[in-house]
């Protein structure tokens, strides 16, 4: 799936591995972030984001097209999908934020 960033700080994290906006993102966490974004890019449709189950792909409350996948047990990657089909399986992903995942 195609992806883009709505957050320039996340783009910097993705391309350079660091950003002042996300001081908690160490090298290992940045590498995991890049891995998750690469999985989004490799996905053929929304169902590919459900594997592996440990990513815990889920729709977020409060947003029609807002979803998340886990980066680690503590953090998740939030994104929106601009669906391109009626079945809501294909679309363009807009990377929005990294947030704490409360267990």
The strands making up 58-59's β-sheet, listed across from edge to edge, are 3-5, 91-100, 75-83, 66-70, 58-59
Section 11-25 average pLDDT? 89
CATH fold for the domain made of 3-100:
YaeB-like fold (3.30.2310)
CA atoms within 13 A on the CB side of 36: 29
Is-above-0.75 flag for pTM?
yes
Look at residue 63 in the predicted model and tell me its pLDDT. Answer: 73
Residue-wise pLDDT for 72-95, tens only, equals 999 999 999 999 888 888 899 999
User: How many Cβ atoms are within 10 Å of 88's Cβ, its own excluded?
Assistant: 12
What are residue 25's phi and psi, to 5 degrees?
Answer: -85, 100
């Amino acid at each position: 799936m195609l992806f883009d960033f709505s957050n320039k700080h996340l783009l910097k994290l993705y391309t350079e591995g660091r950003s002042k906006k996300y001081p908690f993102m160490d090298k290992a966490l940045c590498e995991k972030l890049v891995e998750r974004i690469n999985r989004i890019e490799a996905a053929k449709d929304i169902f590919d984001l459900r594997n592996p189950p440990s990513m815990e792909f889920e729709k977020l409350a409060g947003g029609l097209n807002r979803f998340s996948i886990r980066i680690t047990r503590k953090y998740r990657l939030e994104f929106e999908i601009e669906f391109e089909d009626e079945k809501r399986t294909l679309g363009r992903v807009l990377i929005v934020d990294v947030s704490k995942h409360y267990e």
